[in-house]
Amino acid sequence: MTEQEFQIIRQLIEDKATLLMQQEEKSFVVAGLDVSKHFEVNINDRRFFIISTNIFYHIIHSVLAEACEKHPNAFGIRKTDTILDAIYNIEKIELRENFSEFLRTEQFAWIIELENGKVNDDILRVDLFRKDNKTDFTGGIFHAFKHFSYKGIPLSTHSEKNNINLPSDIFKHIIDCFFFEQQTFTTTNKCYSFIQYNDIYNLRFDFYFEPNTKVYFIDSIRKEAAKKINPHRSCP
């Protein structure tokens, strides 16, 4: 990322974050992000940047994988507390009793596409999770993780085995579904698209579109019987 590209992205994030704060009537918002906490994904000559808060970046790039390896029995058992305990044992951020709320509040990544120095109008914000229902995380990346595993260990509350090399590889699947597959709107605020999961199932990603800020969020992910997917490429 060049300095000019960073400044373009930084200003956009500040603007969108401030609008979201006003829209959701929050008392504070994380608008400034560390340029070092980003990585780039290139797919079919298109450039995508994932820019996240420090905590989000640390969990996705190191803490979660270590928690899976050291506490494998904490995952895949429909209990969010065991997963949060495993993460907390690796990285003691905040008080344990506040940990779920801390991770739920303003811990996120922006996924942004740059083309010829301009930002694609479709902008996705991915939270760690939006809600902790004790048996499942809803919204965000921990909801997506319930369909994936790391070294054979489930990455969230479900026991599905669909290995990815690293937890951060989930972004390739999210980008594939959001930016490459056709979105179908069911209401003004809700749309969905599919990616291939295996020979039997596809994954359906449901997105929430906030029209005043023009920001998308992951709402839900679920398996559905396989349908023909646009064969534009296979996800790396």
| DSSP-assigned letters across all residues of the chain | --HHHHHHHHHHHHHHHHHHHHHTT-S-------TTSEEEEEETTEEEEEEE-HHHHHIIIIIHHHHHHH-GGGSSSS-HHHHHHHHHHH---S-GGGHHHHHHSS-EEEEEEEETTEE-S--EEEES-SEE-SS-EESSHHHHGGG-EETTEESSSS----B-SSGGGHHHHHHIIIIISPPEESSSSEEEEEEE-SSSEEEEEEEEEETTTTEEEEEEEEEEE-----TT----
With 0-12 / 13-18 / 19 or more C-beta atoms within 10 angstroms meaning exposed / middle / buried, residue 68 is: buried
- 203/101 Cα distance (integer angstroms): 28
pLDDT at 235: 41
Q: What is the CA radius of gyration of the chain?
A: 17
Per-residue pLDDT of the chain (236 residues; tens, 9 = 90+): 777 877 788 777 877 777 777 666 665 555 556 666 678 888 888 999 998 888 999 999 999 999 999 999 999 999 999 999 999 999 998 889 999 999 998 888 989 998 887 888 899 999 999 999 999 999 899 999 999 999 999 999 999 888 999 999 999 999 999 999 999 999 999 999 999 888 888 999 999 998 888 889 999 898 888 865 555 444 43
Q: What is the pLDDT of residue 76?
A: 95
Instruction: Count CB atoms within 10 A of the CB of residue 187.
Output: 8
Amino acid at 221: I
Can you give the pLDDT at residue 62? 94
For residue 236, the model assigns a pLDDT of 37
